[in-house]
A and B are shown apart, each in its own frame.
Chain A
Amino acid sequence: MANWTVILNIAKTHLLTKLKSTSIAALGVTFGIGSYITLVSFMTGLNTMLDDLMLNQTPHIHVYNEIEPSKEQPISLYDKFSESFNIVHSIKPKMSQKKIHNALPIITYLERNENVRGALPRIETQIFYLAGSIELGGNLTGISPIDEAKLFNMSDYIVEGSAEALQNTDNSILLGIGIAKKMALKIGDRVQISPINGGIFPLKIVGFYQSGISDVDAMQSFTTIKTVQRILGEANNYITDINVKLYDIEQAVPLSKKIEQQFNLKAVDIKTANAQFDTGTSVRNLITYAVSVALLIVAGFGIYNILNMLIYEKMNDIAILKAIGFSGTDVQLIFMSQAMIIGFVGGVLGLIVGYGLASLISTIPFETEALPTVETYPINIDPMFFVIGFSFAMVSTFLAGYLPSKKAKKIDPVKIIRGQ
Chain B
Amino acid sequence: MSNVLEAKHINKYFKKPVLFHVLKDINFEIKKGEFVSIMGKSGCGKSTLLYILSTMDTDYEGELYLNNKLITDKDSNHLSRLRNENIGFVFQFHYLLAEFTVLENVMLPAKKLAKKTFQEIEQDALEKLKILNIEHLAHKRASQVSGGEKQRVAIARALINNPSIIMGDEPTGNLDSHNAENVFNIFKQLSVEEDLSLLIVTHDEDFANKTDRIIQMEDGKIII
Q: Could you tell me which A residues sit within 8 Å of B by CB distance?
A: 1, 3, 5-6, 9-10, 13-14, 17, 316-317, 319-330, 412-414, 417-418, 420
Contact = CB atoms under 8 A, between A and B. Distances in A.
A325 B57 contact: no
Given A1-B77, A414-B57, A326 B95 contact: no
B109 A3 contact: no
B99 interface: yes
Contact of A3 (B77, B100, B111, B169): B111
Interface in B60-107: 76-77, 80-81, 83-85, 89, 91-93, 95-100
Given A417-B91, A417-B95, 5 more contacts: A1-B77, A13-B100, A321-B108, A324-B89, A327-B76
Contacts of B128: none
Contacts of A320: 95-97
B57 A316 contact: no
A322 to B, nearest CB: 7
16 contacts: A6-B112, A6-B114, A10-B97, A13-B99, A13-B100, A320-B97, A321-B108, A323-B89, A324-B84, A325-B81, A326-B80, A328-B80, A330-B112, A413-B56, A414-B57, A418-B51
B160 to A, nearest CB: 9
Q: Point out which of A1, A13, A414 has the most chain B C-beta atoms below 10 A from its C-beta.
A: A414
Interface in B149-203: 157, 161, 169
Contacts of A418: 47, 51
A6 B80 contact: no
A321 B109 CA distance: 8
A239 B76 CA distance: 84
Give 6 closest A-B pairs by Cβ, nearest first.
Answer: A325-B84, A327-B80, A17-B99, A6-B111, A324-B109, A325-B83
Contacts of B80: 322, 325-328, 330
Contacts of B51: 414, 417-418
Contacts of A322: 56, 80
B101 to A, nearest CB: 10
Interface string B5-36: 00000000000000000000000000000000
Nearest to B81: A325
A417 B169 contact: yes
**From DSSP, what is the main secondary structure of chain A's interface residues?**
helix
A1 to B, nearest CB: 7
A5 B56 CA distance: 25
B199 to A, nearest CB: 15
A5 B110 CA distance: 12
B131 interface: no
B108 A324 contact: yes
B113 interface: yes
B105 to A, nearest CB: 9
A327 B109 contact: no
Interface in B99-148: 99-100, 108-109, 111-114
Nearest to A418: B47
A414 B169 CA distance: 11
B109 to A, nearest CB: 4
A3 B111 CA distance: 8
Contacts of A414: 51, 56-57
Contact of B114 (A3, A13, A319, A412): A3
B178 to A, nearest CB: 23
A324 B112 contact: yes
Given A3-B114, A417-B169, A327 B81 contact: yes
Contacts of A5: 111
A316 B108 CA distance: 15
B77 A329 contact: yes
Nearest to B75: A327
A284 B38 CA distance: 73
B204 to A, nearest CB: 18
Contacts of A9: 111
